[in-house]
Amino acid sequence: MLAVGKLSDALASPGPIAVNVQAGRKTYPDGWQPRSDVDDTTGGFVVSKPFAPDAQPEHGAVLDEFGLSPAQWHVTSVRRSRWQKYDGDWLESVRISIVPAKAVRSDQADVESLTDMIGKWRPSKNPGAAHTDFGGFVAPSGDTQIGKPDGDGTEGTIARFLSEVDRTVTRLRNELPKKVIAPDVTLPWLGDCIEGVNSQGGRLTMRLELTPTEQVRVFRRLLWAQIRAFAPLAERILIPVLPGNHDQAHRVGDQMATFHDDSWAIDGASAVMDGVLENPDLAGRVRFVFPGHDELCVTLDVNGTTMGMTHGHVFGRDPLKWWSEQSAGRQPVGDADVLLAAHSHHLRVQDHGGNRLFMQIPALDGGSTWFRHRRGAAAPSRMVSFWTEGGRVRGLDPVL
């Protein structure tokens, strides 16, 4: 340092100012100062004192510098830094990341115990044992579109529906123990039960095989046939019926012009319900459920599973977004564990947040000439069935 009294002399000197800065020079670069930053639970790191390249200390010795017992800490990674001092000599330092040894034992899987667990596993001696708690059996139907001529037409749709009901009843019978019937069977009808006269703004009316009243008559008979088939195998039968876009009773300018529940599907099912109530063998154990006035959804508790049901014209191409928005708006269907829908004519099963499940069922009609011309695709028509209890679905069976 320059003495204060000599400053004027130094300024007056013709030569360079000589300043001794050696004492202020660092022996390590920024970020590599010897230090520790350690938490007893999550661990941390220590940075060693600088050392000569040929004198690197053991990791345990570095921990000792900071009062850390090597037996209580596990090294997870090591970084090295090397730099040259002002005098030309080289120094090194290490940054050692550590975690508590007890955390390693609890958080990291032990491959020996895992493989030992696999080795001790044995298959169940009776894998085919029947369930003692059956839950609820669910067999939804949708998009029969009675009166539509496409594919094998209405006659093919009727034959297919009756065959699929027979297959589903056979499945239920085979999965029940002898002389036991199911406590609950739910048979949702998820809309578009008839073709109607409103599709494509009424432009397809001349293609229909049946008039609207004839379509509804056939739908009623199919529903009756389904009830007769399941009645011997169920203590209780629940039949939710949802309106679809083809079931709409009246449109103006290709826009729905009445209440949402003004539906041929609900009218036809209501007539069957009247017959059930007059039948002493069915009145006490077959129940129908319809949406409320001007509503499009039904939300029910089916053996501990909250099940929402609707027709897909409500949500279009993004059912999960619609479902999330219903939840955000605190609508009942937004709280469902399972959302069932028809409309898009192909099977789609997709997980949603919060352990929820979206299921779009296949159609039962003869196909769609319009869609084939437009997209070139076709999906097989069939019925699905499954068991449900406690918010979960099991045994989904796409009957073919």
How confident is the model at residue 112, as a pLDDT? 77
**Per-residue confidence (pLDDT) for residue 188, from 0 to 100:** 98
* Phi-psi sector, 382: left (phi>0), alpha (psi -120 to 50), beta: beta
The type of residue at 143 is D
DSSP string over 175-242:
HSPTT--EEEEE--B-S--B--S-GGGGTTGGG-SS-HHHHHHHHHHHHHHHHHHHGGGEEEEEEEB-
Tokens 């007769």 correspond to 228
Please choose, from the candidates 351, 353, 359, the residue with its C-alpha nearest in 3D space to the C-alpha of residue 384.
359
Distance CA 304, CA 316 (A): 28
Domains of the chain: 26-107 (no CATH), 136-399 (3.60.21.10)
Cα distance between residue 170 and residue 166, in whole Å: 6
**62: enclosing H helix or E strand:** helix 59-65
Q: How many CA atoms lie within 13 A of 322 on its CB side?
A: 17
Task: Give the predicted TM-score (pTM) of the model.
Answer: 0.70
pLDDT profile of the chain (400 residues), mean per 10: 44 42 60 86 88 87 89 88 84 90 64 81 63 80 92 91 94 92 96 87 82 94 95 96 92 86 95 96 95 96 96 92 94 96 91 92 82 72 94 84
CA distance 345 to 146: 14
d(CA 266, CA 289): 10
Q: Under 8 Å CB-to-CB from 82, ≥6 apart: which residues?
A: 53, 90, 91, 92
Calculate the CA 189 to chain-centre distance.
23
> What is the H or E stretch that residue 91 is in?
strand 90-100
Provide the 3-class DSSP secondary structure of residue 305.
strand
Question: Phi and psi at residue 243, in whole multiples of 5°?
Answer: -80, 145
15 backbone φψ class: left, alpha, beta (φ>0; ψ -120 to 50): beta
Cα 346 versus chain centre, distance: 18
In this prediction, residue 254 carries a pLDDT of 80
- Coil, helix or strand at residue 99: strand
Residue 20 has a pLDDT of: 40
Can you say whether the dihedral through the CA atoms of 321, 256, 244, 362 is positive or negative?
negative
